[in-house]
Amino acid sequence: MIQLQTKFSRQVDEHNVLPEYPRPSLVRTSYLNLNGRWECAFSKTPEIPLSFDLSILVPFSPECQLSGVSRQLKPGEYLWYRRTIPLAKPQQDKRILLHFGAADHTAEVFVNRISAVRHCGGYLPFSADITDYLQEGDNELIVRIQDESNTSWHARGKQSLKPGGMFYTAQSGLWQTVWMEIVPVNYIEQIFYHTDYDQGLVHLKVLTQHSAPVECVISGKDMEPFCINGMTNSELIVSLPDFHPWTPEDPFLYLVSLKSGADRVSSYFAMRKCDIQTAPDGTQRFYLNNKPYFQAGVLDQGYWPESLYTAPTDEALIADISRMKELGFNMLRKHAKIEPERFYYHCDQLGMLVWQDMVNGGSAYKHWFVTYLATLMNWNHISFSDDEKHAGLLSRLHPEGKDEFRREITETIAFLYNHPSIVVWVPFNEGWGQFDALAACEQIRTLDSSRLVDHASGWFDQKGGDILSLHYYFLKLKFKPESKRAAALTEFGGYSLSIPGHSCCKKVYGYKKFNSTGALTYGYIDLIRQTILPAVKKGIGATVYTQLSDIEEETNGIYTYDREICKIDPDTLRKWNRALKEAGECKTYADHPTDH
């Protein structure tokens, strides 16, 4: 594999790695970033090694170039991190929290050789109150990692120890920011905003260990700040009769300042509503703020050639989102991965809708069934139940794996609940580890009634959720609009072009191959004109083109893997996205037979 780099690699300063505040939905002034050089070691046993003979740049996984290690953590091995923190024990009324954005996959954290926290799950944040483990002067911090990758039933997304085709290099370890903060004993732990768009209300809940008075100041552009008072752990209801809605075209955010005891935090929320309503043409379509709103999306898997799961810089995240907006897209389907919270913050600020996948797990997938046979079954409208008797075909034989998946649904929604950019949850994709999708849908709706659910993206539809979810790469696109669910083309395209010098693999994977950017652009035009636009007129309310960038062998990105070349003509993308939106919102539109 040829090592590619994006331009953002040149901006990485190992003395100031990803310095931005990692939790923008709940911000404090106390913040110590622990990214940078750590000692590192690999071992075969769980005992702390006698020596740490490697150096690793946190938070880049050891498998990637930017880490400085470029070594795969294998099943049965242990990956170790160590650094010292010069830190005095805080005053009696203060506590010190240690935060990890994500550690793939099972992590145990030791402070001065004492176990402080253990966490299982490679995509979600965790933390520990380490106050009682600290000593005056230098404190030793050690992290032990295990990762079975795709040899187990844990959530793994599209990571593979034998990458190829649509599956990519497995990564491990600390891959998001590590940081600390000082808080009072009774501190604000979480904030939840539930907005009622139709009534102009915000239901606000501030969580602390012990209930206490809280003061909330809400402000925004061109408005006078106002204050409300209440108690933590109880609901505060805020009336906003003349509120400013949030849309991708006008992503207005309300700013919030909170005081409770000695704690001070800042936050934000937005007023927006996403649902399905009957459109003027009689079909069920996606609405945003009670208006028809066509979602022209891109599959976004968040891989980087030099750093795998971790964007090299915060600017790199912004660039991906901004480029898709400039091309006329208004939605990203975050596929088989959960990003650092700053990604969702940028989508909130820049105005980009997000469909968020739950990260898939399960044992080894049977691709003859979930990929090839499933395509034919779906095309012939052959139904298939995801109940216990088919657990083997869908790689879900382990009860503990199902329990972990349910737990991670709950944790994912709690983590991302406040981000207005997220409008759809996607628990399952193409049958990968799918089980009881109807129950998963109900679990999600119980936790979050404000968003839509695509319960089974692609195939193995259990007739639940809010969306008739279709994937189209082969055969003929066939669907019948339904009376309750909206229809969406949640994956299509995947047209492939490998550009020498900007592709990292000799082998090329994609669903239709082209030999030039011109040919690819004409192929895209033909696909949209002949198949996708007619489907949108018929009732498709959202589309997701595969994909934002090339990834390893999969050269079907709009951009090359190094983000240097846009392979489909940008003006063409903008024109046809506009045509799709006009058709999907039942507006007057014109076919453009000569567009190229």
Q: Which two tokens stand for residue 412?
A: 């994912």
The beta strands (E) that lie in 112-175 are given as 114-120, 126-129, 138-146, 159-160, 168-169, 173-174
Pick the CATH number of 274-584 from 3.40.640.10, 3.40.50.2300, 3.40.50.1820, 3.20.20.80: 3.20.20.80
For 27-184, CATH number out of 3.40.1280.10, 3.30.70.20, 2.70.170.10, 2.60.120.260 equals 2.60.120.260
Supply the pLDDT for residue 594: 44
pLDDT at 46: 97
The tokens for 340 are: 């650092």
pLDDT of residue 88: 76
Cα 456 from chain centroid? 17
Q: Residue 588 has what pLDDT?
A: 57
Q: For residue 381, how many other CB atoms are within 10 A of its CB?
A: 10
Beta strands in 170-262, from DSSP E residues, in sequence order: 173-174, 178-184, 190-196, 201-207, 213-219, 226-231, 235-239, 254-260
571's enclosing H/E stretch is: helix 570-584
The tens-digit pLDDT sequence of the chain (596 residues) is 999 999 999 999 999 999 999 999 999 999 999 999 999 999 999 999 999 999 999 999 999 999 999 999 999 999 999 999 988 777 889 999 999 999 999 999 999 999 999 999 999 999 999 999 999 889 999 999 999 999 999 999 999 999 999 999 999 999 999 999 999 999 999 999 999 999 999 999 999 999 999 999 999 988 999 999 999 999 999 999 899 999 999 999 999 999 999 999 999 999 999 999 999 999 999 999 999 999 999 999 999 999 999 999 999 999 999 999 999 999 999 999 999 999 999 999 999 999 999 999 999 999 999 999 999 998 888 989 999 999 999 999 999 999 999 999 999 999 999 999 999 999 999 999 999 999 999 999 999 999 999 999 999 999 999 999 999 998 899 999 999 999 999 999 999 999 999 999 999 998 899 999 999 999 999 999 999 999 999 999 999 999 999 999 999 999 999 999 999 999 999 999 999 999 999 875 444 444 44
Instruction: Kindly give, in sequence order, each residue whose CB lies less than 8 Å from that of residue 411, ignoring residues fewer than 6 positions away.
Output: 121, 124
CATH superfamily of 190-269: Immunoglobulins (2.60.40.10)
- What pLDDT is stored for residue 153 in this prediction? 95
For residue 174, the SS3 value is: strand
Question: Phi, psi at residue 52, to the nearest 5°?
Answer: -115, 100
Task: Return the SS3 of 412.
Answer: helix
Separation CA 437–CA 569 (nearest Å): 39
The reported pTM is: 0.97
Task: Name the residue ranges covered by the structural domains of the chain.
Answer: 27-184, 190-269, 274-584
From CA 447, how far away is CA 430, in angstroms rounded? 24
d(CA 403, CA 388) in angstroms, rounded, equals 14
Which residue has 């996984």 as its token pair? 61
User: Where would I find the H helices in 236-313?
Assistant: none
Whether the CB-CB separation of 490 and 457 falls below 8 Å is answered with yes
